[in-house]
Chain A
């Protein structure tokens, strides 16, 4: 059960979108997100919908994965929608008990919900088409120029890599501990919330202790392999920006211009 948790949601593939440089993909996603907040008309969001759908088609990601990524935020969407609809002052269009829905509220609710949906869909396209490793590398390379002002680019990337590397190991271990405790009669499924939380202690304590031991051994192994931080380090994988990346950037800028022109 617990093993089914996956980190990231990368779907390996060989589309143009998959093959874009991770740095470019991160930049494109950032532009897309900023653009979402600049747009203020439904026509603009229609453009966004068409553009996003086209990108998804090109990336050959089945739409069901996109919808899946929206599922966890369903409640946030409903909450945002309801809150906006009821709490915005304006002309009352309907009354539900003591609360009233206003025309402005409905308008704002629709806006916010659409924005959040595209926000999630857009970033999902990034994580679905980019492996966690490529993402990490991309972030490191993008942050590199900011090293001078004290941004620990390499350290951040190394932390992300190690986290990604050890999450499956720790999940395995949690699974093992749960089974071991169950075999000794521990009950994780019944009782009220407080009892259940208490029952987690015998899982968390060994997990923490083991994690510290692992961290210790890993640090030793890394030092034995000549690790001394980012200084003087080279990378086997080299990234280079080619004409597809420039093309993608151009298309994105064009889209931004068009969508901004739709502003009211």
Chain B
């Protein structure tokens, strides 16, 4: 099996009865995520990103089409818990996903549910807290932590289940810039060092720049995908969809429009600096 997640022509509607094609939350989505890949999903509010992410965790089942997580069909009830353990999920609001009153107890929640041996749980909790650099807060009360710290605890809670893939649904939306950086650095590290497949949903374009692939959703469909460079060079398309591009890309785009002869696919500050220097 080559793919971690395979979404095959999936349709989903929140409406139970009417087959109202207008109100499909997902409308023929196809997506294949390779093992170890870092995929970022962008799209404006209501484009179906959260709906898609909840499908990968088997919280929702597709009305049409199939989803495979590490080769397991999410329709297969007997694999439900294995799927949820394989593809862990981190949500937007850190407050509403922390269950216990002590950090380490919360990290232990997942493995406890899986019925793992207490000694092994302890090892996993230590490992998970170290991975997100929260080991010194093991005995703290979660409600006293900062937003970024809470979100890292939530990630540790997933890590302790030893997932192969983590889906994060706008994990930084409620955080301040420093908390955002903490969380994104943690995610990148997990991808690089632990080889965990990452599907990150975000509306901060800067977070997409280092991804292996960017997927753009609109109105329940995937409208375009490719490397960050390929996707962000389509400035006009993104703007039509009501999306931003990274600030440097925007600046380069405006400079180009006003007649400067620079490349179209700039996504980092260094690249723009280089281009500008080349002009003289």
Residues in A lying within 8 Å of B, measured CB to CB: 132-133, 161-162, 164-165, 168-169, 172, 213-214, 217-218, 220-228, 232-238
Query: Is the beta-carbon distance between A236 and B100 smaller than 8 angstroms?
Result: no
Query: Is the beta-carbon distance between B57 and A224 smaller than 8 angstroms?
Result: yes
Residues of A within 8 A of B114 (CB): 226
Check: B259 CB closer than 8 A to any chain A CB.
no
Query: Is the beta-carbon distance between B97 and A221 smaller than 8 angstroms?
Result: yes
* 25 examples of A-B residue contacts, CB within 8 angstroms: A132-B101, A133-B101, A161-B101, A169-B95, A172-B143, A217-B91, A217-B97, A218-B96, A220-B54, A224-B84, A224-B88, A225-B99, A226-B81, A226-B113, A227-B109, A228-B113, A233-B112, A233-B113, A234-B111, A234-B112, A234-B115, A234-B117, A234-B118, A236-B112, A236-B122
Check: B161 CB closer than 8 A to any chain A CB.
yes
With the chains together, A128 CA to B227 CA distance in Å? Answer: 58
Residues of B within 8 A of A227 (CB): 109, 113
Residues of A within 8 A of B115 (CB): 232-234
Query: Is the beta-carbon distance between A218 and B99 smaller than 8 angstroms?
Result: yes
- In chain B, residues 161-185, which have Cβ atoms closer than 8 Å to a Cβ of chain A? 161
Assess A165 versus B112: contact at CB under 8 Å? Given A234-B117, A236-B125.
no
Closest to B84 in A: A226
With the chains together, A233 CA to B59 CA distance in Å? Answer: 21
Check: B244 CB closer than 8 A to any chain A CB.
no
- Give the secondary structure class of B's interface: helix
With the chains together, A232 CA to B96 CA distance in Å? Answer: 24
Query: Is the beta-carbon distance between A228 and B81 smaller than 8 angstroms?
Result: yes
Query: Is the beta-carbon distance between A226 and B91 smaller than 8 angstroms?
Result: no
Taking the nearest CB of chain A, how far is it from the CB of B267, in angstroms? 32
Taking the nearest CB of chain B, how far is it from the CB of A242, in angstroms? 17
Query: Is the beta-carbon distance between A161 and B121 smaller than 8 angstroms?
Result: no
The 4 closest A-B pairs by CB, nearest first: A221-B97, A217-B96, A236-B108, A226-B113
Taking the nearest CB of chain B, how far is it from the CB of A166, in angstroms? 8
Residues 46-63 of chain B, each 1 if its beta carbon lies under 8 Å from chain A, else 0:
000000001001010000
Known: A162-B99, A172-B143, A226-B113. 5 other contacts (CB 8 A): A218-B96, A223-B84, A225-B110, A225-B157, A234-B118
Residues of B within 8 A of A218 (CB): 96-97, 99
Residues of B within 8 A of A235 (CB): 112, 118
Residues of A within 8 A of B104 (CB): 236
- In chain B, residues 76-93, which have Cβ atoms closer than 8 Å to a Cβ of chain A? 81, 84-85, 88-89, 91, 93
With the chains together, A164 CA to B143 CA distance in Å? Answer: 11
- In chain B, residues 109-145, which have Cβ atoms closer than 8 Å to a Cβ of chain A? 109-118, 121-122, 125, 141-143
Check: B98 CB closer than 8 A to any chain A CB.
yes
Closest to A232 in B: B115
Check: B102 CB closer than 8 A to any chain A CB.
yes
Taking the nearest CB of chain B, how far is it from the CB of A171, in angstroms? 9
Assess A225 versus B91: contact at CB under 8 Å? Given A218-B97, A234-B118, A236-B122.
no
Residues of B within 8 A of A228 (CB): 81, 113
Query: Is the beta-carbon distance between A161 and B100 smaller than 8 angstroms?
Result: yes
With the chains together, A226 CA to B158 CA distance in Å? Answer: 10
With the chains together, A169 CA to B150 CA distance in Å? Answer: 13
Closest to A238 in B: B118
Residues of B within 8 A of A162 (CB): 99
Residues of B within 8 A of A232 (CB): 115
Query: Is the beta-carbon distance between A236 and B99 smaller than 8 angstroms?
Result: no
With the chains together, A165 CA to B150 CA distance in Å? Answer: 13
Query: Is the beta-carbon distance between A165 and B122 smaller than 8 angstroms?
Result: no
Query: Is the beta-carbon distance between A236 and B121 smaller than 8 angstroms?
Result: yes
With the chains together, A123 CA to B100 CA distance in Å? Answer: 24
Check: B218 CB closer than 8 A to any chain A CB.
no
Residues of A within 8 A of B121 (CB): 234, 236
With the chains together, A224 CA to B84 CA distance in Å? Answer: 6
With the chains together, A209 CA to B157 CA distance in Å? Answer: 27
Residues of B within 8 A of A220 (CB): 54, 59, 91
- In chain B, residues 206-255, which have Cβ atoms closer than 8 Å to a Cβ of chain A? none
Check: B37 CB closer than 8 A to any chain A CB.
no
With the chains together, A213 CA to B96 CA distance in Å? Answer: 9
Closest to B124 in A: A236
Query: Is the beta-carbon distance between B57 and A217 smaller than 8 angstroms?
Result: no
Query: Is the beta-carbon distance between B118 and A165 smaller than 8 angstroms?
Result: no
Check: B105 CB closer than 8 A to any chain A CB.
yes
Residues of A within 8 A of B93 (CB): 214, 217
Residues of A within 8 A of B91 (CB): 217, 220-221, 224
With the chains together, A237 CA to B158 CA distance in Å? Answer: 19
